Amino acid sequence: MISSIPLAERMRPTTLDRFVGQQHLVGPNAVLRKMIESKNIASFILWGPPGVGKTTLARILATDLERTFYSLSAVSSGVKDVREVIERSRSNRMFQKNRPILFIDEIHRFSKSQQDALLGAVEDGTLVLIGATTENPSFEVIAPLLSRCQVYTLNPLSVTDLNVLLTRAIEEDQYLKDVAFQIDETEALFRFSGGDARKLLNILELVVSTYDQGQTVVINNKEVQDRLQENRLMYDKDGEMHYDIISAFIKSIRGSDPNAALYWMARMITAGEDPLFIARRLVVLASEDIGLANPNAFLMANACFDAVHRIGMPEARIPMAQTVIYLATSPKSNSAYAAIEKAMETVRKTGNLSVPLHLRNAPTELMKELGYAKDYKYAHHFKDRFIEQEFMPEKLSGKRFFDPLPDNPREAEIARFLEQWGEKYSYGSKK
């Protein structure tokens, strides 16, 4: 390729009619098309995987609505940048007939304070906010900001959509239209693209670049796979390497190796992985692999997630490192994880077993007459706040899901606590 501009950028559509996919948003009578037709736009957030058109849609809307367009990336921008855009919008208000659009890519990476800085300007109409995120806005966008924005979901591109993009690139791109192609198979090309238009065009460009000028470019499954393996990136946030590294990270903590865990986390951070993704995995790991062996691990992981959410990068790397070391050097137990897995498997096998009558609530006289709550014993009325009674459905009486680890001090203490209530609760001989 002789162009310094990537194929994906050269093929970026500039009108809604050229936009591929997301017909539920841009098709006839769809919400975003109606916004353009009515010349009226409200703040919204586009939620979807990479490469499905979030940035492109924002640019098309700004162009068609003749709005000033400001663009920020949450990866490289801070509160100062946000306030500068807001101040510029307010200063130019008398010279603009329409409110400008502020597009924030990866808005989920903004900390709480950064998101707070947007509230006033969105609420008083200084600007229209369009956010783009690959993460669920319900978890990553603060509630006051989320309540002022509609959320529109974008889907991965279908095979039909990808085929349109492939054909269009080959036939219309100023460089590719002069290249001879032999397309035998597209399954691998589309599979590696994963519904991502940018990735599809990047792969196509990569394959073409491996051929000499004048050669016929062959597209088949083997050619695509071979070319990708030869030019594999160190870390692809949405590809196989992404899952390999997060797997190595989790297994290093589970295996009590803080140095390896720090190394794999450093690999992810350096490659631009979303720190909230890492922090979420730490919360899950704290329960799945440490659990009752050290209950404080879960509290620390939650505090880490909150810190990452509030302060953002690069400072968040420090509490993340502290948490990783703490989790890696904590005693390990998966008893809680194993217990819920056993319980859910039992539910799948046994279905909806009836709640014993004595455990049911009885808010009406009729329910009392039918035996609801009859013979239920209120534990607080008895010595040591305990009275033996059946809490399982009759068919599962005596069924055990939780097995405390005898070699862990905390769980051995739990076992002793339960065993004092008699044979039914004894872990001396597991059932």
3-class DSSP assignment, residue 44: strand
DSSP at 108? G
Same domain, 95 and 121: yes
Mean pLDDT is highest, among 126-135, 322-331, 377-386, for: 322-331
Q: How far apart are CA 316 and CA 75, in angstroms?
A: 13
For the segment 143-200, what is each residue's pLDDT rounded down to a tens digit? Answer: 888 888 889 999 989 999 999 999 999 999 988 988 999 999 898 888 888 888 988 9
* pLDDT score of 159: 92
pLDDT band at 240 (very low <50, low <70, confident <90, very high): very low
* pLDDT score of 387: 77
Mean pLDDT to the nearest integer, 198-206: 89
For the segment 220-233, what is each residue's pLDDT rounded down to a tens digit? Answer: 988 888 877 655 44
* pLDDT score of 299: 96
Measured over the CA atoms of residue 272, residue 131, residue 151 and residue 195, the dihedral's sign is: negative
Average pLDDT for the chain: 85
pLDDT band at 297 (very low <50, low <70, confident <90, very high): very high
Alpha helices per DSSP H over 271-408? 275-285, 296-311, 317-328, 335-350, 365-369
Q: How far apart are CA 334 and CA 340, in angstroms?
A: 10
Task: State percent of the chain over pLDDT 70.
Answer: 93
Beta bridge partners of 129: 102
Provide the CATH number for the domain around residue 282. 1.20.272.10
pLDDT band at 95 (very low <50, low <70, confident <90, very high): low
313: tokens are: 């990068």
Which range of residues forms the domain containing residue 368? 355-425
Q: Which of 273, 318, 269, 249 is nearest to 108 (CA)?
A: 273
Confidence (pTM): 0.55
* pLDDT score of 231: 54
- Is the pLDDT confidence value at 430 over 50? no
Same domain, 53 and 145: yes
Q: How far apart are CA 308 and CA 93, in angstroms?
A: 35
Q: How far apart are CA 272 and CA 237, in angstroms?
A: 8
For the segment 15-45, what is each residue's pLDDT rounded down to a tens digit? Answer: 888 999 999 998 888 888 888 888 888 899 9
Boundary-marking domain end, from 90, 124, 153: 153
For the chain, give percent helix, strand, coil, nearest 5.
55, 5, 40
- Is the pLDDT confidence value at 287 over 60? yes
Q: CB 70: neighbour CB atoms within 10 A?
A: 19
- Is the pLDDT confidence value at 140 over 90? no
- Is the pLDDT confidence value at 72 over 50? yes
Same domain, 114 and 218: no
* pLDDT score of 321: 96
> Cα separations (Å) of 404 from 281, 327, 400, 423?
24, 20, 11, 16
3-class DSSP assignment, residue 209: helix
Q: How far apart are CA 66 and CA 48, in angstroms?
A: 25
The full length of the chain comes to 431
* pLDDT score of 392: 85
Provide the CATH number for the domain around residue 415. 1.10.3710
Same domain, 105 and 136: yes
Same domain, 224 and 124: no
Same domain, 226 and 252: no
Q: Confirm if 13 and 20 have CB atoms less than 8 A apart.
A: yes
Same domain, 143 and 166: no
pLDDT band at 431 (very low <50, low <70, confident <90, very high): very low
